[in-house]
């Protein structure tokens, strides 16, 4: 019986990239992916292993063997949905381990692997960690975890430099548990692209039906400045109240003084929906203008460096 996994495919691909937040970070938005002859329900701005393997089979003229290693579940940490990765068998009896990739299409993944094109989303921030919530039921020693890959195009070498490449596995957890992937940087530079991979990993490529890895509410936090001459403003502690809010919310900044800063607000798909410029001092208030009810993410930027990020909820 074959074992099908793309858990390490990102190690061989370039990365491209769209905002400083995680696109569709709460996995609230789903749509049918029709890139292959089998249609799959897929989290928007992400691609599942089911879509990718089906697309590859079509591309190379192999029988299209459907699988169900990734699914939408309603037992979310917040909101209506989360994404669950498990272990399943396809229609030929091959084992498929669940994984999701923060790239918009299966075609973009293929272009990255075989054509050297960029994969992922634009990203120019140096966060300190990727955080979020997960549950994990592990059978037979199966593991699960995350990979965060950040790169930057090097015009001198006509190739992509790796700015950060971090993998971390998580322990079994029956209830929603906060995780944090600390990010370490290989180069003293800002990236221009970002890719996240999350999935199930079997020891010696052996996977067990019944392993389930569910994730929700991903968020980049903190900042890691570059060299002293370039670093800009240091990280700041930011509190928002009330949060959730209806008419207005106040941001209070400690350990830093804002000077001509700006606040960027993104929806759950990573689309920038509002920008507030010329922020100074230790606090400021925003109104609900242009923000419908729902979950948003913000990034506070000063001297062209991200100093804080977080979640906003509008009632």
Decide if 11 contacts 113 (C-beta within 8 A).
no
Per-residue confidence in pLDDT tens, the chain, 315 aa: 444 444 444 333 333 333 357 999 999 999 999 888 889 999 999 999 999 888 888 887 777 677 889 999 999 999 999 999 999 888 777 888 999 999 988 888 777 766 656 668 889 888 888 999 999 999 988 999 999 999 888 889 888 888 999 889 999 999 999 998 888 888 889 998 899 999 998 776 778 999 999 999 999 987 777 753 333 344 567 889 998 999 999 999 887 778 888 888 877 555 678 999 999 998 999 999 889 988 787 878 776 445 667 778 898
**Domains in the chain: boundaries:** 3-221, 237-314
Considering only CA atoms, which of 79, 133, 72 is closest in space to residue 295? 79
pLDDT (0 to 100) of residue 116: 59
Report domain 3-221's class.
mainly beta
pLDDT (0 to 100) of residue 77: 94
Residues 6 or more apart whose CB falls under 8 angstroms from that of 295 comprise 26, 28, 78, 79, 268, 311, 312, 313
The span from the CA of 238 to the CA of 26, in Å, is 21
Of the candidate CATH numbers 1.10.150.530, 3.40.228.10, 2.40.30.10, 2.60.40.1220, the domain formed by 237-314 belongs to 2.60.40.1220
The span from the CA of 179 to the CA of 181, in Å, is 7
pLDDT (0 to 100) of residue 194: 92
């Amino acid at each position: 019986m074959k074992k099908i996994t793309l858990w390490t495919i990102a190690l061989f691909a370039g990365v491209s990239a769209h905002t400083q937040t995680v696109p569709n970070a709460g996995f609230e938005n789903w749509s049918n992916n029709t890139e292959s002859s089998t249609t799959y329900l897929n989290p928007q701005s992400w691609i599942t292993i089911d879509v990718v393997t089906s697309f590859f089979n079509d591309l190379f003229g192999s029988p299209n063997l459907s699988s169900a290693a990734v699914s939408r579940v309603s037992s979310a940490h917040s909101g209506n949905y989360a994404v669950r990765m498990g272990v399943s068998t396809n229609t030929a009896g091959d084992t498929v381990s669940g994984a999701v990739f923060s790239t918009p299409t299966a075609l973009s993944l293929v272009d990255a692997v075989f054509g050297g094109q960029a994969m992922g989303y634009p990203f120019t921030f140096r966060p300190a960690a990727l955080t979020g919530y997960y549950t994990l039921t592990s059978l037979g020693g199966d593991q699960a975890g995350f990979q965060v890959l950040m790169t930057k195009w090097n015009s001198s070498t006509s190739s992509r430099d790796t700015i950060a490449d971090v993998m971390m596995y998580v322990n079994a957890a029956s209830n929603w548990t906060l995780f944090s992937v600390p990010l370490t940087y290989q180069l003293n530079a800002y990236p221009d692209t970002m890719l996240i991979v999350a999935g199930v990993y079997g020891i010696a490529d052996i996977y067990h039906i019944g392993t389930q890895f569910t994730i929700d509410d991903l968020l980049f936090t903190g900042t890691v400045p570059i060299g002293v001459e370039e670093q800009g403003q240091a990280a700041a502690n930011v509190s928002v109240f009330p949060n959730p809010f209806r008419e207005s919310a106040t941001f209070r900044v400690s350990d830093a003084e804002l000077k001509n800063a700006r606040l960027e607000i993104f929806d759950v798909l990573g689309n920038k929906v509002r920008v507030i410029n010329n922020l100074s001092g230790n606090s400021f208030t925003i109104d609900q203008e242009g923000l419908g009810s729902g979950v948003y993410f913000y990034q506070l930027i000063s001297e062209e460096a991200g100093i804080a990020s977080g979640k906003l909820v509008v009632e």
